[in-house]
Structure 1
Amino acid sequence: MSAAGKWGDLPARVLSAAVMLIVGLLCLWQGGVVFHVLVAFACAGMIWELTRMMPAKSSRWPIQVAALVLLAFFAVLFLPPVFMFPLLIAPALVGASGLRSDRFRYGLYAVGLILACFGLIALREFRGMEWVLWLIFVVIATDVAGYFAGKTFGGPKFWPSLSPKKTWSGTSAGWIAAFFVGLAFGGVGLGVVSMVLSLASQLGDISESALKRRAGVKDSSALIPGHGGLLDRFDGLMAAALVTLVIASVIGLPHQPG
């Protein structure tokens, strides 16, 4: 492969990532309803992509389920907390009911996506902007280090049957980069947690690759130049956010970043 072909997708990837980063950071800085709305629309978009990849009974089902996700995220702003989790999970269960097959696989993945998005909102609201920045930069560092190390060094594949492009060199580079992000934000303890989230991010990418292979598609959609769809871009962040929510709920996170 020529050098141009090897790095041909880099300009589109960099530009798309820069735009998403700027918009995301502005909404993150605002917090509150602004960040809630951003995450709600992102979640609805990912559910739309996920439903499109599944054997739905109706061609309109993906957009209908996405609308339910938006409705649920907006409704929790006004309803008592006791209704929060049932309301957020309901679109995933309803979405599964409109499929011809793969209902369990879809429901599990959709619930994970929705809870991960809720975790991002909760992290911003109850822990502060610094925690969300830490999580975002852990995932970015994992992705960037893995991309460049994999392209540069190549080597044995990490999980060739599910993700033929991911190498051990890129995977381990992602862990190392994530550790240093955690170290910079909050010390060794956070560095170790960051490595766990780096692995979660990579497994999120692999699981989405498995879904696409099963569906026979290259990308979840074509919404983002150089990255494919929202799921292609945020699969790692969703997995890391979900694991962060579990860690925070079960054993707690290390001391405040910064």
Structure 2
Amino acid sequence: MKSGNPSSNWSDLAPRVLSAIAMAAVAVIAVLLGNPIFLALIAVVIGLCIGELARLLIPAKPGVFVFLGVIATLVIFIAGFGFDEADPGARLISSKALLLLIPPLLGAALIKKHRVLFLGYGALIMLAGLGFIAMGPGPILIWFLMIIIMSDVAGYFVGRTVGGPKFWPRVSPKKTWSGTIAGWVGALVIGLLAAAQGVFTPAEALFAPLIAFAGQMGDIVESAIKRAVNVKDSSNLIPGHGGVLDRFDAMIGAAAVLMLLIGAASLFGSAG
């Protein structure tokens, strides 16, 4: 006889709803305000994420994670100022993009334990910041956000309703293959809708499931980090719902991979 409460399947619905609202609010505010407020907003979000990552790994040294967060904020603002949205890939492979390595390298020097972890995930966060800036305060950012939200919503409800084999039980016990695939399908639908509106080309829309998968992996990677250090939330900045990194982990994974795709396309395009 099962003693569990079926409603526990939906116990994390509230944080997910809050995540969607927070991301939507940030996107709407960014689009309405435009640059340079948009750039400053992205810089602060990335700075908070870097600071919270450091907090996870060295909780006993608040001065270090505050310092790294401030440095990351400044670096994103400087690297993104005057960003050429017409050719973001070229900007990715430019010398100015090397500034993105400053916070991860500083963190690796200051953090004695988990150095490689901070260096790798910190670099991913910084790259994602440049990805947000590359999308700019406009329709591409809004549709990108909708892809991530649809992937999360479809995956959540299908995974909890259908169930089935777990995707990666050791790291994320609640994620199922049914939910993961549903997230890809939902992302493709949004991508095709965006293509119908002229925001993406049909070929670009086909990459929506890959972006969704990157978002899912961003969520899983952050969960793995928290499990490794035995911490529930990246911070208590949002009372009852964790930190900024908890709310934007999927966006970070997706934006970083998007930027890598853009950079690769630009590199191969110029080589051809």
TM-score when scaled to structure 2? 0.82
Paired residues, number: 249
Aligned-partner SS, 1:32: coil
2:39–2:81: 8 Å Cα contact kept in structure 1? no
* 2:66 alignment partner in structure 1: 63
Equivalent runs, 1:37-116 vs 2, <5 Å: 37-55=40-58, 58-76=61-79, 84-116=96-128
TM-score when scaled to structure 1? 0.87
CA RMSD between the two structures:
2.4
- C-alpha change, 1:224 and 1:24, in structure 2 (3 Å) is farther
- C-alpha change, 1:79 and 1:8, in structure 2 (3 Å) is closer
* 1:30 alignment partner in structure 2: 33
Aligned-partner SS, 1:164: strand
- C-alpha change, 1:220 and 1:114, in structure 2 (3 Å) is same
Distance 1:121 1:45 in 2: 16
* 2:185 alignment partner in structure 1: 176
CA deviations over 1:160-213 (Å, ceiling 9, x no partner) = 111111111110110000000001001642332001111111111111111111
The offset of 1:11, in angstroms, is: 4.1
The offset of 1:77, in angstroms, is: 6.1
* 2:230 alignment partner in structure 1: 216
2:222–2:249: 8 Å Cα contact kept in structure 1? yes
* 2:87 alignment partner in structure 1: none
- C-alpha change, 1:76 and 1:193, in structure 2 (3 Å) is closer
Distance 1:77 1:134 in 2: 21
Amino acid corresponding to residue 212 of structure 1 in structure 2: K
Distance 1:19 1:234 in 2: 9
Q: Which runs of 5+ in 2 are unaligned?
A: 84-90, 197-201, 267-272
Distance 2:231 2:152 in 1: 21
1:208–1:235: 8 Å Cα contact kept in structure 2? yes
1:56–1:100: 8 Å Cα contact kept in structure 2? no
Q: Which runs of 5+ in 1 are unaligned?
A: 253-258
* 1:229 alignment partner in structure 2: 243
Distance 1:183 1:39 in 2: 27
* 1:193 alignment partner in structure 2: 207
1:178–1:191: 8 Å Cα contact kept in structure 2? no
Distance 1:245 1:6 in 2: 34
2:43–2:73: 8 Å Cα contact kept in structure 1? yes
The offset of 1:146, in angstroms, is: 0.9
* 1:151 alignment partner in structure 2: 160
Distance 1:62 1:53 in 2: 9
Alignment of 1:7 with 2:41, yes or no, is: no
- C-alpha change, 1:157 and 1:73, in structure 2 (3 Å) is same
2:19–2:248: 8 Å Cα contact kept in structure 1? no
117, 121, 124: which is aligned to 2:129? 117
The offset of 1:51, in angstroms, is: 0.2
207, 221, 224: which is aligned to 2:221? 207
- C-alpha change, 1:19 and 1:232, in structure 2 (3 Å) is closer
Identity of aligned residues (%): 39
